Amino acid sequence: MTLLSVRDLQAGYGKVQVLFNGHIDVEPGELVGIVGPNGAGKSTFLGTLAGSVRASSGSIEFDGASIKGRNPEDIVRLGLAMVPEGRAIFTDLTVNENLRLGLTGRREKSGAQQAVDEVMDLFPVLTTHKNHQAGLLSGGQQQQLAIARALVSEPKLLLLDEPSLGLSPTVIQDVFGVLARIQERGTAIIVVEQRAHLVMSIAVRTLVMREGHIRATLSQSDAQDEAKLAAAYFGTGEDRE
Amino acid sequence: MSDDLLRSSQLPGVTRFQWQQLLGPIVVIVVLSYVISSISITFTFLTEGTLALLVMVLGLQVFIGNSGVLSFGQAAFAMVGGFATGLLTVPVKIKENVLDELWEPLKAINMGIWPSLVIAVAIGAFFAFLTGLFLMRLSGLAAGIATFALLMVADNVFFNWRLIGPGPQVMPQVPKFGFVDESIILAVVVMVVVYLIGISRRGRLLRATREDPLAARALGASVWRLRVLFFTVSGGIAALSGAMYAHHSGAVSARDFYLGFTFTTLAMLVIGGATSMWGAVVGTIAVTAIGQVLLEFESGVTVGGIDITLPNGARGVVIAAALVAILIWRPKGITGGREFALRLPFLNRP
């Protein structure tokens, strides 16, 4: 059964429409990418799935139920967790306290400690800094904490908004390496990124967005085809004018 | 690298239970209260009044400090608490003679101070819950204005509605506390409640909504539910403060809990530091101490042979100036939002 099925999704802010005819299908355990330039509507699309942006029309079916119009706090309890852009960790709290806040969104209240332990195994650096102030971690460690915090709710689908933002190339490789291990646990992932090559190398397919529309869907093999990628990313010469 | 990072015990608004942090402010308040009240009857009266104010500031801290939402309306619940305990404890004869327009069933009620305090807290919390259901959908400026409107409504109701009180007059003959001990016990109980709810999972979640509401919601936190819960607890504590004030002064009126009361208690919270219980304690002590010193100067004091008399109202001006200075130069208050831990050998187990 398809885990997430989105059709004809329209969303925006006030009277300004930002997302047009958004659509996506995600199977359990799949990793799907969304790429596109600044202002393409990628984060709005992700926010609409997570409930932080209201959809004006269209449908969002997640795990057999409609989640369109539901609150973010209800959606996370259904198994759809989001790591927002800029990480949004709570800097005054410790690493452990940040992680425990993530337990709020668990459907099953039992097994919480086990979930924390498993996530700590996935991110050993967090164990080292368990009792340290989260705001003083490095950018890469903060990103790992943000992902770990979302994972303790044991989501079926994890949404990541620009996880590479502000990170050095080596740290980006570490963060993306962890995504494969999360996928191995059976968690489906949608990653929004501006670095198209990075996402396309690990995603089963990648949607390319421009000006609020999904312009193309590229397969993993398309990542090698520079011309195809450039055409989808920037549009045709006519489009660019 | 780990040595460069702050440990949890050094962080502001620490969320792990530590006996030292709970006992620190309690010991300071208990010792100060007994020392100051032993000076004279006047100082006993001052101590009781300050403890009632401390409870109010703690009530403000538990909501404003944890949620980051400014409320001007908590004094409305102090009004509710003051009137509730007054109506429940003033002798029936006094009510029949002085409060002749009072609703008849209220005239017949009479009980002791302690059960009336419990009922006052319950009524205050109930009204906070009811109003919170609507007000807690607001944030920022809208929340500030709406809670201020709540204060105006409460003042107008209590100031004019003689069916539930003395109207613009004073409700007299409210039984007084016998000793300062009652006020100290109540303040300590409130400090324990405020500390425990602050370090609870819900307290931590509410502070997370204060830092980043969207991120907190993405983790499953219902901002509205958390705010309603803490607004209700805060309303109950504010009602206790109003009731303590009534049993301290022996009388109660609507204007006891209006703009002056609201400003003073908010100033105490901000000056001390809104994000910690210790901030509420320090702010209350600091503003009371400054107020008392300036009160002496308003009456005229001779320093080194020079007579100094400050104009009436100097207290208010200085406290307002201190508030502005704190907001500009130390927005987290004197304590910087940190708790005070009492370091005793037998409490310092790792």
pLDDT (mean) for B313-320 = 89
Record the pTM: 0.86
Distant-in-sequence, close-in-space partners of A151: CB < 8 Å, separation ≥ 6: A81, A102, A115, A119, A122, A158, A182, A187
pLDDT of residue B1: 40
Note whether A25 contacts B: Cβ–Cβ < 8 A. no
pLDDT of residue A166: 79
Band of pLDDT at residue B12, cut at 50, 70 and 90: very low
pLDDT (mean) for A142-147 = 91
pLDDT of residue A58: 95
Higher pLDDT, residue B55 or A91: B55
- B5-9, B43-47, B346-350 — most confident range: B43-47
Higher pLDDT, residue B4 or B235: B235
State pLDDT tens for residues A210-241. Answer: 999 999 898 888 777 777 777 777 776 444 33
Q: Look at B221 and A73 and tell me if their CB atoms are within 8 Å.
A: yes
Percent of chain B at pLDDT exceeding 90? 75
Does position B279 have pLDDT exceeding 90, yes or no?
yes
pLDDT of residue A241: 32
State pLDDT tens for residues A23-64. Answer: 999 999 999 999 998 889 999 999 999 999 999 999 999 999
Higher pLDDT, residue B17 or B67: B67
Does position B134 have pLDDT exceeding 50, yes or no?
yes
Q: Look at A90 and B214 and tell me if their CB atoms are within 8 Å.
A: no
Pick the closest to residue B71 from B265, B328, B322 (CA basis).
Answer: B265
Q: Across-strand partners of B122?
A: none
- CB-nearest to B7 from A50, A90, A131 is A131
Structure ipTM: 0.82
- CB-nearest to B217 from A73, A102, A149 is A73
Does position A105 have pLDDT exceeding 90, yes or no?
no
**Sign of dihedral through CA atoms B328, A88, A84, A140?**
positive
Q: What's the number of domains chain A is made of?
A: 1
pLDDT of residue B117: 97
Does position A173 have pLDDT exceeding 70, yes or no?
yes
Helix B19-37 vs helix B41-60: crossing angle, to nearest 10: 150
For A181, the domain range is 4-240
A164 phi/psi in degrees, rounded to 5: -90, -5
Chain A residues with CB-CB distance to B219 below 8 A: 76, 101-102, 104-105, 149-150, 153
Q: What is the domain-level CATH number for residue A44?
A: 3.40.50.300
Domain spans, chain B? 15-254
pLDDT of residue A54: 92
CA atoms within a 13 Å half-sphere pointing along the CA-CB vector of A218: 30
pLDDT of residue B11: 46
